[in-house]
A and B are shown apart, each in its own frame.
Chain A
Amino acid sequence: MRKKWIAFWSILMKDMRAYYLKPPNISWGLLFPIAWTGMFFIKSGKGFESIPELLPGVIAISVLFGTTSMLAVSVTFEKKNRSFERLLLAPISLNLLIMAKTAGAILFGSVNAVIPVLLALFLADLSTISWAIVLPAIILIAIVSTFLGLFIAVSASEVFEAQTFSNFFRFPMIFLCGLFFPIASLPAVLRPVSYVLPLTYGVDILRGAITVTNVMPLGLDFLAIGSFCLVLFYISLRNIRRKWIT
């Protein structure tokens, strides 16, 4: 058990040092949520009282972009230069290896979510927010987005492909998950698509916890996003076994 923990911790720390704690990524992690917050704030035109309404969307987008960008690129990069083989040949299970590789992205995404929350704390009254729901929701969104990034990474063979695939998933998700437009106001053909997007449930939980405007029961949201985590994790594991351990 101790040996496995050492391997897990080392992979996590190596990824943190090699990818996540690099100055460009730290600045991206800081600037991106700030830019999103500013953009939504200006667009709302309502002043500081609109901040609680904006917060779920800004948190969700910050986490989504923070996790998917980094993981998809770092895994594809390591696969390309064959250093990922070193991990596959280590005496640790594939489950543990993937958990270690994704832990960095989950942490990075969760920290990204803290930035808009900290900004909002200075500008608005957040005393009514149910933090006991917000925190697990942030972590679940980070996990599901990370596993989506992993799914993309396993499908791509080049770094630029991973970036393209990431955007292919991310941008439709932003517009269809109920952030910009309520799902009920989307064209009927697009509404079912919204319900197969994990971010839809994450945003709904955050809405419920921050402004009590969720459209689905929170229990269902948690169940759905948890299911997405499991499904994406196992699909990625299966794809790695199929594609990378030939």
Chain B
Amino acid sequence: MSENTMQRDNVIPTACFQNALIEAVGLTKKFDDVTAVNKISFSLEPGEFFGFLGPNGAGKTTTINMLTGLTRPDSGTIRVAGQGYTENPKAAQYLMGIVPDESNLYPELSGFDNLCFCASLYGIGRHERRERARELLETFGLAEAADRKFAGYSKGMKRKLTIAAGIIHRPHILFLDEPTTGIDVATARQIRQRIADLHRAGTTIFLTTHYIEEAERLCERIAFIVKGQIVTTDTVANLLQPLQGSHVMLISVSGAIHDLADRLAVGFPGYTCATVSSGQVRIESAQPVSLGPLVRFIEEQNVEVTEARRVGPSLEDVFVGVTGIEANVLKKDADKKGGAS
């Protein structure tokens, strides 16, 4: 991402944010009888990459909507750049860029016109917005499709343009609501690269995602949110710390044996065994895992072992341990939304 793309008009030097850039305290939101978000508190430091990780319905989008002013919290307060925000969100919206979970640009306008229009909503003059739009179309590899209507874009192109629209006014804080859900692997990689570039250029980023690997790769600090409550918040390094001494083995077998993990748990009481997916079992232990006895045991069950590999502890292990939710629940959620990354 070029230097130009990241220069801000409404420049507030990062040093001016003496405290947290965003501070949310006790946010609660109910929809009828359902408590979507329940007394959550967190803060974002200037320049930080903060991830919000949780399954469908955990309260991720409701939280973003409260932070951006689309939803009013029932209780709790939000401060943005030290200013009270809950009652008057408009004042802080110049600082924010928002990429919603759906690509919601105007189908009848071209990619170029969409970007120019989004810039104009922030009061950017004609010449400047046209220049920025061209630059962003180039950065996101959409220059050739600049004059095509948004309606004719592929899903990945729509996503890229929606992100470009979210940053055309060079915001201090970028909210990304599941930016790579529902798009192909190559486009998702490009998007992650652009997001990382934005962060390197100093933008504070708030990311919600279903993808644990994405959060682990991009975020500095992560909050796990389940049923409207934050279960834990910490840096990725700190979250992984308790698992540094653990040993994990992934064993792939041919043919699905639904109770293989249970049988292994009985056969090897010192190991924690779980089915990762159909045909794959995960063994975890505080002691080094001996492969030989495991393979023999599995083959005695008339199941063929096709692959066995040792893996380091991952954020997925932390997520499962902290929330009690199997990681494949998140994957299924992402698939429901058309995920492919």
Contact = CB atoms under 8 A, between A and B. Distances in A.
Interface stretch (A6-14, A167-175, A183-191): A6-14
Interface stretch (B106-114, B268-276, B298-306, B310-318): B106-114
A87 B90 CA distance: 11
Interface of B: 31, 68-72, 90-91, 93-94, 96, 98, 100, 102, 104-109, 113, 117-118, 120-125, 165
Contacts of A18: 106, 108-109
Nearest to A14: B117
Interface stretch (A63-71, A90-98, A135-143, A207-215): A90-98
Contacts of A92: 90, 121
Interface string A3-37: 11011011100100110000000000000000000
Considering the complex of A and B, which 3 residue pairs feature the smallest CB-CB distances, nearest first?
A3-B123, A10-B120, A91-B93
Nearest to B107: A81
A90 B71 contact: no
A227 interface: no
B72 A245 contact: yes
Contacts of A4: 123
12 contacts: A2-B123, A3-B122, A6-B124, A18-B106, A85-B70, A85-B100, A86-B105, A86-B165, A93-B90, A245-B69, A245-B71, A246-B70
Contacts, number: 71
Q: State which size class the interface on A falls in.
A: 20 to 34
A86 B123 contact: no
A240 to B, nearest CB: 12
B69 A83 contact: no
Given A6-B120, A81-B107, A246-B71, 17 more contacts: A6-B124, A7-B121, A10-B120, A82-B100, A82-B104, A83-B106, A85-B70, A85-B100, A86-B118, A86-B121, A88-B70, A89-B70, A89-B98, A90-B93, A90-B121, A91-B91, A91-B122
B92 to A, nearest CB: 8
Given A6-B120, A10-B120, A89 B104 contact: no
A89 B104 CA distance: 12
A195 B67 CA distance: 45
B71 A6 contact: no
A89 B124 CA distance: 16
A83 B104 contact: yes
A10 B117 contact: yes
Given A3-B122, A83-B104, A89 B117 contact: no
Nearest to A7: B121
B70 A6 contact: no
A82 B70 CA distance: 12
A7 B120 contact: yes
B70 A245 contact: yes
Contacts of A87: 121
Contact of B123 (A6, A81, A88): A6
Contacts of B118: 86
A83 B165 CA distance: 12
B63 to A, nearest CB: 14
B117 A91 contact: no
